[in-house]
Amino acid sequence: MFKIKSLIVLLVLGLVVPGGFLSAAYNTTTWGPGYRLFFGGVAPEDGGVDGISIDINANTYLHSYIKDVSSLQVTMWPGSEIHLKSLDGKLFETSVATAETVCGDGYSTFDYTTPDTSMTFVINLADGSNCEQVMAPEETVTVPQEINVENLASILKTGLKAVLGQGSLTHFILGNVVESITVESVGSSQAIISLSTPANKNLYLQKDKAKNVDTDADGYRDLRVTLMSTVGGVADLNLEKMEVVKINSVVPGDLIKIAGDSAVYYYGADSQRYVFPNEKVFYGWFDNFDKVITIEAVEMAKLPIAGLVTYRPGVKLVTFTTTKDVYVVSQGGVLRKLKNEEMARNLYGETWNKLVDDISDAFFSSYSFGDDLVELADYNKEAQEVLSPNIGVDKEI
């Protein structure tokens, strides 16, 4: 672990941006007019040479961002704003229903200001995805046909395959729900799809990572969607029916236990239970055990164990018993190694070493590892804690 060095006083000057103190605290990235982003995996038009530039059209304030060869993931807090302009007339495709591309004469723009809540979303750019594609002649518009339920496939436990190109639509039955799924956009390793039930439900999918969906809005996830691959602008999806297990007197998000046993579990919306490995992890999420609900052992047995609850982001620093490296915790149990003791002190104060918890090597596989933390601006512990208000959100259950 880091050795304690001399005191370093860090003076942090607040940014003067719209949104007041909250924006100053959380918006660590500022782009002004004249700044340019380059996307090396996107051609200006179909058949063109890869490589386009996107200009910043006005002052942009973000908490953080991740730029890929064909996409830009942004994390925005109240008071954040983003302003983009494409001289190639590119469509800025996102999962945010209120964020749209505005097509001009030979250019396109994308402007978005975060509402009262924070959010993370991805802006996708693609070959041939230009403004002229949305200005199709009137005669090409098709009228949706009535769905013939008798001809629809039912999603069984074994799953249902759906191979769909951008803009493609298909239907299937899930329980008593007739679901329609549309592929909004397809990137190199991601896709955005929309579901008809619940209405206007957009999902941002990453390759090989599943998303759980509550199609009938009863609080329980009943559909698992996995993006298997993206080849030639086609999304290969696997759709699985999730078994819903409802227990009397409890709802997803509750803490549960059985009489005579001290083990406490988190009851997930995926009808599974999650184990707290120790009290240190528990107290990062809850103040006490007052809201733990006791259920019958036979009911508990219906809920499979899905895995461990990991440390809440922003609350503690962690290390493993067989290493001297110290990590911050990000959403989903992603660990990022600190560069040195000075960075630990700047993030967590002079008593940072008292906030370091040891994780047993037995729990190593419950975490994943992101890029090493190089700049202080790449991590804000208060923002990370807000981004994961509960275990369900943190694990994307």
Q: Measured between alpha carbons, how far is 272 from 265 in angstroms, rounded to an integer? A: 10
Mean pLDDT of 171-199: 77
- The pLDDT of residue 120: 85
Helix (H, G, I), strand (E, B) or coil at 341: helix
Q: Which residue has the higher pLDDT, 327 or 170?
A: 327
Question: Which segment, 8-17, 77-86, 87-96, 265-274, is predicted with the most confidence on average?
Answer: 265-274
pLDDT of residue 154: 59
* Cα–Cα dist 118/120, whole Å: 7
The answer to whether the CB of 19 falls within 8 A of the CB of 78 is: yes
DSSP class per residue in 255-286: EEEETT----EEE-TTS-EEE--SHHHHHHH-
> 123, 74 in Cβ contact below 8 A?
yes
- Does pLDDT of 329 surpass 50? yes
CA quadruple 285, 290, 291, 297: dihedral, nearest 10 = 110
Q: Residues 5-39: pLDDT tens digits?
A: 333 323 233 333 333 334 445 678 889 888 999 99
User: Residue 65 CA to chain centroid, in angstroms?
Assistant: 13
**Residue-wise pLDDT tens digits, 192-216:** 888 877 665 678 888 888 888 888 8
pLDDT of residue 121: 87
- Per-residue pLDDT reduced to its tens digit, 108-130: 999 888 866 678 888 999 888 88
Where do the structural domains in the chain lie, given as residue ranges?
21-133, 154-241, 255-308, 317-395
In Å, how far from its chain's centre is CA 88?
A: 29
Higher pLDDT, 324 or 173: 324
Q: Predicted confidence band at 152 (pLDDT cuts at 50, 70, 90)? A: low
What mean pLDDT comes out for the span 280-285?
95
What pLDDT is attached to residue 133? 53
Average pLDDT over residues 49-54: 90
Taking only the tens place, the pLDDT of each residue in 213-271 is 888 888 899 888 888 888 877 888 888 888 899 999 999 999 999 999 999 999 999 99
- The pLDDT tens digits for 352-362 are 999 999 999 99
What number is the average pLDDT over the span 376-389? Answer: 87
Which residue has 């991740």 as its token pair?
66
> Could you tell me the sign of the dihedral formed by the alpha carbons of 258, 261, 265, 271, in that order?
negative
Report how far apart, in Å, the C-alpha atoms of 356 and of each of 321, 329, 372 are.
11, 11, 17
Contact criterion met (CB below 8 Å) for 187 and 206:
no
